[in-house]
């Protein structure tokens, strides 16, 4: 019994699995070959020449995608006093402190991103075991523990993503919806790869960008030629 459905098998026939595509060509082809009955997400996987087991080679950062992700981002802010008002005016759907901590302890998790002011982190830490595994824990390294809550909320709403290299040296990230079209997806990927390039660890020797692949939610991955990637972004 085949692992994939008929539509997938028909699609894969249009892909040369031995070819390294130009980035723009890979994006266009991935979009052209979509077949699902919903607006798929275009994802990118980047394998780096780093060893994440060494702290000096851990690649982690954030980037605001110029065209966003194509979906509504529900933001929760842990704050008090004037910062609550600031968060609400910036567009946060949920704002509070101990009341939200209690609600989350009881099982409520109807939000996509969380921001917290530093003075409230003592309370937020009590639900770290709930938020952490779900990627919802505010973190100073990603700009979500800050007194500038307005900026944090607006960036998340605009399509800010945070990323980190996995054990195998790979970074996965969404780049927007198929309905964006190739040009907007390319702009998002360019911003993403540019940020990764600027985060190259000094201790990383040899090739830094090893492999890049582009795929839609239901589609097959297209391998990208990394040799001329800097000229394309």
Instruction: Express each pLDDT in 48-92 by its tens digit.
Output: 999 999 999 999 999 999 999 998 999 999 999 999 999 999 999
Pick from 56, 47, 51: nearest CA to 196: 47
Whether the predicted pLDDT of 216 surpasses 50:
yes
Judge if 44 and 104 occupy the same domain: no
Q: What is the pLDDT of residue 232?
A: 56
Judge if 153 and 91 occupy the same domain: yes
Reduce the secondary structure of the chain to three states and give it as a string: CCCCCHHHHHHHCCCCCCCCECHHHHHHHHHHCCCCCCCCEEEEEEEECCCCCCHHHCCEEEEECCCCCCCCCCEEEECCCHHHHHHHHHCCCEEECHHHHHHHHCCCCCCCEEEECHHHHHHHHHHHHHHHHHCCCCCHHHCCECCCHHHHHHHHHHCEEEEECCCCCEEEEEEEEHHHCHHHHHHHHHHHHHHHHHCCCCCCCCCCEEEEEEEECCCCCEEECHHHHHHHC
Residue 3, in any domain of the structure? no
Average pLDDT over every residue of 204-215: 90
Domain of 141 in residue numbering reads as 75-157
* Per-residue pLDDT tens over the stretch 182-191: 999 999 999 9
Whether the predicted pLDDT of 12 surpasses 70:
no
Judge if 64 and 165 occupy the same domain: yes
Q: Assign residue 33 the CATH number of its domain.
A: 3.30.190.20
Question: Sorting pLDDT into bands at 50, 70 and 90, what band is 204?
Answer: confident
* Domain end marker among 130, 157, 184: 157
Q: Assign residue 82 the CATH number of its domain.
A: 3.40.50.790
Instruction: Give the pairing type, strands 209-216 and 41-48.
Output: antiparallel
Average pLDDT over every residue of 206-217: 92
More confident position, 54 or 9: 54
* Per-residue pLDDT tens over the stretch 145-188: 999 999 999 999 999 999 999 989 999 999 999 999 999 999 99
Instruction: Give the pairing type, strands 209-216 and 222-224.
Output: antiparallel
């Amino acid at each position: 019994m085949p692992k994939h459905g008929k539509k997938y098998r028909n699609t894969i026939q249009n892909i040369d699995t031995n070819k390294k595509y130009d980035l723009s060509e890979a994006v266009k082809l991935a979009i052209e070959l979509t077949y699902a009955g919903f607006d798929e997400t275009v994802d990118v996987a980047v394998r780096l020449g780093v060893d994440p087991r060494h702290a000096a080679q851990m690649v982690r950062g954030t980037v605001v995608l110029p065209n966003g992700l194509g979906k509504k981002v529900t933001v929760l802010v842990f704050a008090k006093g004037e910062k609550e008002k600031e968060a609400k005016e910036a567009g946060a759907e949920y704002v509070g402190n101990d009341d939200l901590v209690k609600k989350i302890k009881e099982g409520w998790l109807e939000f996509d991103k969380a921001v917290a002011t530093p003075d409230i982190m003592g309370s937020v830490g009590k639900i770290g075991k709930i938020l952490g595994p779900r990627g919802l824990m505010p973190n100073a390294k990603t700009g979500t523990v800050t007194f500038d809550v307005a900026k944090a909320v607006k960036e998340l709403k605009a399509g800010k993503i945070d990323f980190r290299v996995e054990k195998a040296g790979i970074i996965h990230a969404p780049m927007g919806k198929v309905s964006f079209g190739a040009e907007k997806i390319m702009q998002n990927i360019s911003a993403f790869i540019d940020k990764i390039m600027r985060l190259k660890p000094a201790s990383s020797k040899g090739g830094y960008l090893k492999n890049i692949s582009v795929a839609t939610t239901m589609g097959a991955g297209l391998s990208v030629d990394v040799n001329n990637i800097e000229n394309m972004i």
